[in-house]
Structure 1
Amino acid sequence: SYSHDVRERLIWGRDLVQGLADPGWQAGLSLTCTGHTPVREPQRIGAQWFIDTGAFAPSGRLTLVEPRTGRTWSMTQTEARERRAGDWPLP
């Protein structure tokens, strides 16, 4: 069991994406796609792939990734409306 402080850092820590931590300590870890920390472009740092491109904001984008290939797709709110994304059938 982890201490409260360790759990909080694991959940809310931003050191890696802010360039304050060494990504080398993640060697051997599996890839984790991470959100809730908006970045201008998707970026992979160590075993973390930061993909939150600010879809909540008018100028932001929703980004999807395909981990096996490294491919990414992004769409702005305006593009989603123009393409009528809200009408697309869900699986």
Structure 2
Amino acid sequence: MPPINNVVDVSNYVMLELGQPSHTYDLAALTGGGGTGPALRVPRAVEGETVETLDGVVRTLSASDGVIADGDDAAIGIARGHGRCIDRDQR
């Protein structure tokens, strides 16, 4: 697992130690808080909705898939979503 950023690296270490997947989000990339800041929801996906995962693959979701969403977009499903992840350029 290549190093990415201190926050992501710690999250990955904890995941490996505990066997519990976790994910960090870039606060600046989250939307949908209605003016009070970002809000995350845990809805079912909309049939045919897509999400680009960190491996660069665009995946099509079904209505039975659970996702973590901000605004109207899926941030992640079972795999981590790309658009809101912390990267090497985060402070």
Question: TM class, shorter-chain normalised?
Answer: under 0.3
**Greater C-alpha radius of gyration:** 1
TM-score (norm 1): 0.21
Q: Tell me: higher relative CO, structure 1 or 2? Use CA pairs within 8 A at least 6 residues apart.
A: 2
